[in-house]
Amino acid sequence: MSRRPLDSSVPAIAVHDVSKRYGRTIALDHVDLEVAAGEFVVLTGPSGAGKSTLLNLLAALEKPDTGTIFVRGHRLGRRSRHLNRLRRVEVGLVFQLHNLIPRLTARENVEAAMFETHRGRRQRTARADELLERLDLAERATDRPPTMSGGERQRAAIARAVANQPAVLLADEPSGSLDDHSAQLVFDLFDEMRDGGATILAVSHDSRLEQRGSRVISIADLSTSAA
């Protein structure tokens, strides 16, 4: 399953007037955002400002109360089949809490993301091993997440998110638990993805990551109601 080619004039991410609330809590209030294809945007802001919520909406994990979201020119709607494909092929999501399956090994966690793609068993294993080696996790490939450190789990989660070579990578604090060496490996991987035309939107408080981004924006600046 390959990605659809994209007109370079179409933004990779377009968020128009999106609001989201949970009960009385307003998570996002009339937010606008456009990210061009190939951009590396770092999104900052205080805790509870709605950064993770915005990533979840962009990954189609939930729906906005109001407003529209386009990812690679496609409006996120209710069609389940399209959303599955979006989560599997178009978008890779690095969760803040990693969300690895504890029962599976690091390699199997990465492989699980490649079911329902064109890759066969051997190709899935080869791709998983390639990414784990790239992120200095080759020796932990057969270990399960509960036995791994926070940094190792974070890198395994990044390997899973990029396994299908997504056109858009959404990363929630991808370097928060990483030492300098490990962070460098991840940043190099991000750079390589960007060189390949991928768009990256990362939520982070990590100054090392902010320095790598082509644009750093604050979530507070995205709300039109605050202007």
Partner 1 sequence: MTFVGLIMRNIGSRPLRAALTASAVAIGVMAVVALGVLTTSLKESATQILDVGNADFTIAQKNSSDIINGTISQDDIDAIGRIPGVRKAVGALISTDPYDENNPLVIEVGLNPADQAPFGLNILEGKAYTADSDDQVMLGYALAKQIDKTVGDSITIGGHDYTVTGLYRTNVSFGNSTMMFPLAYLQGLNRLSGQVTLGFVQVEDGASIARVRAEIDSQYAQLTTIETAEDFGRADRNLTLISAANTGGSLLAGLIAITGVLNTSLLSFFERIREFGIYRSIGWSRFRVIALVIGEAVVVSVVGAAVGVLLGWGAINVLENLRQLKGVFKPLYDAGIFWRSLGFGLTVAFLGALYPALRAALVAPITAVRRE
Does 62 interact with partner 1 (rule: CB under 8 A)? Answer: yes
Identify residue 10 by its one-letter amino acid code.
V
Half-sphere exposure of 184 (CA within 13 A, CB side): 3
CB atoms within 10 A of CB 182: 20
Does 97 interact with partner 1 (rule: CB under 8 A)? Answer: yes
Does 108 interact with partner 1 (rule: CB under 8 A)? Answer: yes
Q: Which is nearer to partner 1, 148 or 183 (CB)?
A: 148
To partner 1, the closest distance from the beta carbon of 154 in angstroms equals 15
Does 93 interact with partner 1 (rule: CB under 8 A)? Answer: yes
Instruction: Select the span of 78-86, 135-143, 184-192, 200-208 touching partner 1 (CB under 8 A).
Output: 78-86
In the region spanning residues 155 to 184, those forming contacts with partner 1, defined by CB under 8 A, are 160, 164
Does 95 interact with partner 1 (rule: CB under 8 A)? Answer: yes
Does 154 interact with partner 1 (rule: CB under 8 A)? Answer: no
Instruction: Select the span of 68-76, 81-89, 133-141, 204-212 touching partner 1 (CB under 8 A).
Output: 81-89
Alpha carbon distance 147, 97 (integer Å) = 15
Alpha carbon distance 174, 6 (integer Å) = 26
End-to-end CA distance of the chain: 42
Tokens of 154: 């974070």
Tokens of 19: 């609001």
Give the C-alpha distances (Å, rounded to integers) separating 54 from 28, 34, 87, 200.
Answer: 8, 13, 15, 14
Does 76 interact with partner 1 (rule: CB under 8 A)? Answer: no
Residues that bind partner 1 (CB under 8 A): 56, 59, 61-62, 80-81, 84-89, 93, 95, 97, 99-101, 103-104, 107-108, 111-113, 115-116, 121, 124-125, 160, 164
